[in-house]
Chains A and B, each alone.
Chain A
Amino acid sequence: MNRVTVRACLASAATTLLLTSCSLTGGGDTATEPSTSAAGGSGSGGGTVVLATHESFHLPKKLVRQFEEESGYTLEVRAAGDAGTLATKLSLTADNPIADAAYGIDNTFASRPLDEGAFAAFTPGTTPPEQYALAEGGDRLVPVDSASVCVNVDTDWFDREGLTPPETLDDLTDPAYADLMVTPGASTSSPGMAFFLATVAQYGDDWPDYWADLLANGAKVVDGWEDAYYGDFTAGSKTGTRPIVVSYDSSPAFTVEDGRSTTAALLDTCFRQVEYAGVLAGADNPEGAEALVDWMLSAEVQSALPESMYVFPVMPGATVPDGWAQFAQQPTDPYEVDPAEIAANREEWLTEWTDVISR
């Protein structure tokens, strides 16, 4: 590096430092605004409504502005951590909630905050379809979207190799598919947990045997969905070597080339995750929270869910994008496990699962 470049670097770095330090000393002016207005306005028909959610939450700015204009509330989103972190946060703060409403608790985690009394009873203005309702806690948590975790295959890879792709969970232990599969772990990843629950639903108490077979057939278990999809899956990574991956039913819509998808979801292997929203018990702004949850069920938000969060809307009238209608199919008969059973067995299952995979 010559002297001129060094000077240039130095100058630019110094400028950046000066700019940032001048504008800052304390987190910035923009950031303090919402919290002051939050302190000031918790009354009805205005003020701030705070939504606690997970890091995948996202809705178009235009929609949010529209909600704020029509309802008179200012929406403040506090998103951090994954679904498990969110469930833990809500459970631990049940007596002094971190927000007014929460979104993103799914059917594998719902029992925990419900048991801790984190949610208040609430009846939405529009009734979502019965099939998504929770058996226990349906009066407090409202279904907003669903996304099924399914085994995905790289159909191009199978075409090239002249091999028929697998179709069922049983097929995955077939020696013809030896060393071809990768899945995120049940203990470390939410889709990994969903796939594990699919095997529990299918094999009951015999699931450890199935997992032993799966591993004997060369299935690879990695930490997270990102690692599986971008690290090992042939259609997600240039260096990937495994054409079978655990992902979502919507994933094929993201591998479209020349008008067709190069991957497919195996719809007989799916476990359905439903995400719920609810009003937090003891919220500062319960009216705002109710308006917010109702808004999540509105046609606009429901139709925005696929593009924004890669999930399917629960309301029948909502529209899905063209690509989705063509390439992302939902399973008609997904595997299900009763949330109460999940709650009762989660720890034991995970302990045993970890033992099986580290044998």
Chain B
Amino acid sequence: MRRVLALLALAAGPVLVLGVLFVLPVGGMLSEGFVVDGRFAPGAVLDVLARPRVHRVAWFTLWSSAVATALAVLLGLPAAYALHRLRLPGRHAVRAALLVPFVLPTVVVGVAFRQLLGEGGPLGFLGLDGTPVAIVAGLVFFNVAVVVRTVGVAWESLDPRPGQAAAALGASPWQVLRTVTLPALRPAVVGAASVVFLFCATAFGIVLTLGGVRYSTVETEIYLLTTTVFDLQAAAALSVLQIVVVVVLLAVSARLRAVPDPTAQRTVVAARPLRRGDVPVVLATLVVLGAMLAPVAALVAGSLSVGDGWGLANYRALSSAGDGQALLVPVSDALLMSLRTAVDATWMALLLGGLVSVVVTRRSRSAAERRVRSALDGFFMLPLGVSAVTLGFGFLITLDRPPLDLRDSPLLVPLAQALVALPLVVRTLTPVLAGVDDRQRQAAASLGASPWRAVLTVDLPVVWKPALAASGFAFAASLGEFGATSFLARDDSPTLPVVIFRLIGHPGEMNYGMALAASVVLAATTAVVMLAVERLRVPGVGAF
């Protein structure tokens, strides 16, 4: 019992933050739909769920997200292996580059994709424009990086000896992969897949842009019902449906993620040189990289194209306010604002995510304790599975009175972004922390170490590299976050994605060119920051 209490005390901070910034707003917005004329009337909301259109929308969301998740995992696994276990030239740069799609504003990626796939584009002959195939391709494009990074970090610290032993006993490489490596990686793979599925199922801009208006997902439908139709009951019904599905999914993935014995010792294994047998994996990685780079190349080409020729005019214009003064602040200021916001969002996400990871990975001594831990684990994933529209409007109507008048707080944007990045941080840290042998902490405690001291000496050495990776991830997520930011950002301090959206929404060729150039700047900034994260961790590990 005391342990459960201690657990709850440790979890109190993150739970409080999530309660105020997530449960309260979403609850407030849902009650707009459930309460009609001051009376609780769930009947009308439940009626909505019987609409044939709702069934179509839900089914489309499920299958497109499932296919996209499967593809992202299939494409991401070889790349995770190649980039984290093999000593490839330039692998740090490639790892950094793979995160670029993840931060690009969806509206820009949408236009870049459409210039590739559209009727007059280089891939127009495929006839994919406006089809579900294009939507799935877009979702995979955005999410492969999540798989590569989450699984890669786990793979990197996977003990190679069981595999070597199996090989020495005569197992083929395929058998080793199937019977030793993949089972050990299962928590990371399932964790990554569940995050990717949630990202796909709640994707907004990319579905709208690539699917045209024919294909609606639960997320786009909630947006439509809330802002255009103002049918709050239907929006509430869909939000509830979304939450239920997410909870079920999280329960399933928690079961799949559980490993029989999490006491396996984790050490970071040095990357090994290439062998002949690695060729297929490297080729697959190159294909993934090529597919990632095609839309980005289209973007770069677009940003350099001026009139009938090529030039840097779009980049030079970035310090201006744009054609017809489209911008209040130049792109350079917005970039600085983005960086500052991302720094804040990153430490918030890391602090919250670190606490959560510690809470959910400590060994449970009783069934009750285990249940509390897994409930907490799922709870912190929920923000990923809830509509940004519901959350955004919820902020407006619930956090509007003292003592919680946050509507005008400059901290709101970094906080919202930290919530978006939280599941990424948790999913990166938990597999690693789960691998720390609890007996080490007990040993430290028996030698007189305080709990904090035990964390410092036992957990920190193992977790600091993944923590850096997670912070890079959170930083990238924050740099590219658009949904919540556009809803909450203040006019005098927009972030780069907000400015890009503004540029692309204003007529004038220069503005469009500037939007592309600004996107390239955003992508390059992300790549440089990620590269720095990749490099910063080098000095700490002697084996490199």
Tell me the A residues contacting B by CB distance below 8 Å: 1, 6, 9-10, 12-14, 16-17, 20-21, 23-28, 30-32, 34-35, 38, 55-58, 60-61, 76-82, 84-85, 87-89, 91-93, 96, 98, 112, 185, 187-188, 193, 220-227, 229-232, 236-242, 247-248, 250-251, 254, 307-308, 310, 346-347, 350-351, 354, 357-358
Contact = CB atoms under 8 A, between A and B. Distances in A.
Given A6-B535, A13-B529, 16 more contacts: A9-B531, A17-B343, A56-B505, A58-B326, A84-B227, A84-B228, A92-B393, A93-B396, A220-B130, A221-B212, A223-B213, A226-B111, A231-B111, A232-B118, A238-B305, A357-B213
Contacts, number: 214
B229 A77 contact: no
29 contacts: A20-B343, A23-B340, A24-B343, A27-B413, A31-B492, A35-B409, A58-B327, A58-B328, A88-B227, A91-B230, A92-B396, A96-B401, A98-B407, A185-B212, A221-B213, A223-B110, A223-B209, A223-B212, A223-B213, A224-B208, A230-B111, A232-B114, A232-B118, A232-B119, A237-B115, A238-B120, A241-B119, A308-B325, A346-B229
Per DSSP, chain B at the interface is: helix
B394 to A, nearest CB: 9
Interface string B229-270: 111000000000000000000000000000000000000000
B284 interface: no
Interface of B: 32, 53, 90, 92-93, 107, 110-111, 114-115, 118-121, 124, 130, 208-209, 211-216, 220, 224, 226-231, 305, 324-328, 336-337, 339-341, 343-344, 393, 396-397, 400-401, 407-411, 413-414, 486-493, 501-502, 504-509, 512, 528-529, 531-532, 535-536
A239 B507 contact: no
Contacts of B111: 226-227, 230-231
A10 B230 contact: no
Contacts of A226: 107, 111, 504-505
Given A20-B336, A239-B115, A225 B505 contact: yes
A89 B396 CA distance: 7
A31 B120 contact: no
Contacts of A89: 393, 396
A224 B215 CA distance: 14
B118 A241 contact: yes
B28 to A, nearest CB: 9
B531 A13 contact: yes
Contacts of A82: 227
Given A10-B531, A230-B512, A308-B324, A85 B487 contact: yes
Contacts of A20: 336, 339-340, 343
B365 to A, nearest CB: 39
B414 A77 contact: no
A225 B486 CA distance: 18
